Structure 1
Amino acid sequence: MKKVLITAFTALVLFSCQNDQSEAAGSETSASTARRGCATQEVLEAQLRADPMLAIRMNEIEAYTNKAMLTGKLVNGKVQIPVVVNVLYKTAAQNISDAQIQSQIDVLNKDFNALNSDFGSVPALFAGVKANVGISFVLDQIIRKSTTKTSWGTNDAMKKTAQGGLAPTSPTTKLNLWACAIGGGILGYAQFPGGASATDGVVIDSKYFGLSGSAAAPYNLGRTATHEVGHWMNLRHIWGDATCGSDLVSDTPTHNAENYGVPAYPHYSTCSGTPVEMTMNYMDYVDDNAMYMFSNGQKARMAAIFLSGGPRAAFGI
């Protein structure tokens, strides 16, 4: 496992300049109708260009997170997150049912509490670092709105009433999810801690929301939301959005690049030390049925943001 030492300067580079998108894809053994597309990093880069102070806020969050982990000052007990689901639909299929929405909440609760049925499939190599994050989710409200838009893109239009969307509800104390047609092959995207509250939350294409109804294989197990909520809780992509990049977590191996489909195990990185990649981590790009774990280091990063003084402390401990 790698060691992570982040200085203030390094963090500034990470959050203001990291756009080295690797073109090489990891090994895959199953053909997918479409590759997983998460626009979180691209949205972050656009936000950084629009708001020069965002990099500074994210640096401060990173420094706080590192201090919390180094001192062992992490959240005790359970964190329960109220979830508001904003449904924007043009077609009947996009107007996803209450049951489909609840199925997504159920998946989040299983995945973040090590109750997913495939948790036992984690290879022995990673068994010592697989985590029960201990964060739960409760459906607070469903808001629906009919629209004439065919697709919303990734510029946060779905979060703005002036552009026909739905503004977030109490974003400092509730996780807002938007289910809508994103377009462009994007399954979803999230806003990292530190961004504007007016756009805070997670967007998921309605075709990949939950387990039933419009949910389409190979992304029909609700893991798009698990991946994106991980970003919302301050997790980076496991390959660090760069060739042999850093995800700022010490117990995940260095990945050469993102992986797609269902990689054969073991899949070796070409980075220094050629470690076995943790392709089954929720923060990779594999199919839903191929991702089924967070690591203890990722758990620590997520827990830190809910502490007093953390960027999501208002959710309460």
Structure 2
Amino acid sequence: MKKIILSAFSLLLLLSCSNDETTNSTEAPTAEVVHRGCASQEVHERHLQENPLLAQKMAEIEAITQEAVLENRIVNGVLEIPVVFNVLYRTAAENISQAQLQSQIDVLNADFRGANTDYNSNNPFNNVRGAINVKFILDNVVRKSTTKSSWGTNDAMKRSSQGGIDASSPTTKLNYWVCTIGGGILGYAQFPGGATATDGVVCDSKYTGTTGSATYPFNKGRTATHEVGHWMNLRHIWGDANCGNDQVADTPTHNGPNSGVPAVGHRSTCSGQPLEMYMNYMDYTDDRGMYMFSKGQVSRMAAIFNSNGPRKSFR
């Protein structure tokens, strides 16, 4: 089990680690996706380079988060989160239907509230399975035709000046951009503390929802569950480093990301060879292989909506 570390060194390590599964090209080539690719950490590192003040802001958010987690202050009642889908399409297939978008909302509600029916009751981590009392609501759908075949990860899809769609009320609504990202990237998110104009998540149309163009093995809407987890301040479960720290006490140490659906009993080679929580939404397993958040992750997510949290405007 990992201890929560608040030292400047560990925070710097957390913010500086990366993986190799992204592209910053505006016109990234499309690629057949075999393993899950999430560019959230890489995009975050770029934001850190572009904004020297962001690191300090993130450190302050981390301190607030840890204080809230230790005091067990969580949001009371049901927190409603309006979702605006910004759909950018070049082909009819990319212009995904209202039904496909609604299926994604349904998945988010089931996954975050612990109501997903594919949960394995024999899960060895059953005692730490968590749920957060939020309700995602489809607020609006904005559609725009484009000539771009792919968008990359430089936030161009979030700016009308670059052919994208500007965010709608990002301090009170979760903006979800649907587009072809390219480069093997399924999606990415902006962590709390970043620029308001680019706040939200981005997911490829082929990995949004459970119907229509949703493509196996990422056809159960878990790309968005993973990315919204980032938007709620969760890190990858391996801490973006070999045997890294995700700042959550009840998730075991992982060597790195898992892919596919690991065999039951899969353990890391980290100290103590702990059983990995490969069914966690913040790993890289296939959609059918992930089905839970931990209680520690839930406390961390709830903390951002507290009265002094970075997403308090959603209350």
Answer yes or no: is the 8 Å Cα contact 1:12–1:56 preserved in 2.
Answer: no
**2: CA distance between counterparts of 1:106 and 1:173?**
20
State the partner residue of 1:283: 282
- Once residues 197 and 167 of structure 2 are traced to their aligned partners in structure 1, the CA distance between those partners, rounded to angstroms, is 7
State the 1:10 CA deviation.
Answer: 2.7
Deviations along 1:33-69, whole A, 9 cap, x unmatched? 6110000011011111111111111100000000111
Aligned to 2:160: 161
Shift of 1:9: 4.3
Corresponding position of 1:309? 308
TM-score by length of 1: 0.94
- 1:244-284 Cα offsets, whole Å, 9 max, x none, are 00000000000011000010011011001100000000000
Q: Is the 8 A contact 2:107 2:209 kept in 1?
A: yes
Q: How many residues were matched structurally?
A: 305
Deviation at 1:7, TM superposition (A): 2.1
Please list every run of 5 or more consecutive structure 2 residues that lacks an aligned counterpart in the other structure. Answer: 22-31
Identity percentage of aligned residues: 64
Q: Output the amino acid matched with 2:169.
A: S
Tell me the residue number matched to 1:187.
186
Structure 1 gap ranges (5+): 24-31
The whole-number CA distance in structure 2 between the counterparts of 1:268 and 1:167 is 43
| Mapping of residues 1-40 of structure 1, within 5 Å | 1-15=1-15, 17-19=16-18, 21=19, 34-40=34-40
* CA distance in structure 1 between the partners assigned to 2:64 and 2:269 by the alignment: 32
Q: How big is each residue's C-alpha offset from its partner over 1:181-225, in whole Å with a ceiling of 9 and x where there is no partner?
A: 100010000000000000000000001010111110000000000
Partner deviation per Cα, 1:88-138 (whole Å, 9 max, x = no partner): 000000000000000000000000111111123451x21110011222100
Tell me the alpha carbon deviations over residues 124-157 of structure 1, each in whole angstroms, 9 at most, x when there is no partner.
x211100112221000000000000010000000
- Output the CA distance in 1 between the equivalents of 2:141 and 2:254: 38
Question: 1:56 corresponds to which residue?
Answer: 56
* TM-score relative to the length of structure 2: 0.94
Q: Could you tell me whether the CA contact under 8 Å between 1:22 and 1:243 is conserved in 2?
A: no
Match of 2:97?
A: 97
Taking the aligned partners of 2:17 and 2:122, their CA distance within structure 1 comes to 30
Q: Distance in 2 between matches of 1:256 and 1:35?
A: 17
Counterpart secondary structure, 2:44: helix
Shift of 1:22: 8.3
C-alpha distance in structure 2 between counterparts of 1:268 and 1:3, whole Å: 19
**Secondary structure of residue in 2 paired with 1:145:** strand
Aligned equivalents of 2:178, 2:20: Cα separation in 1:
29
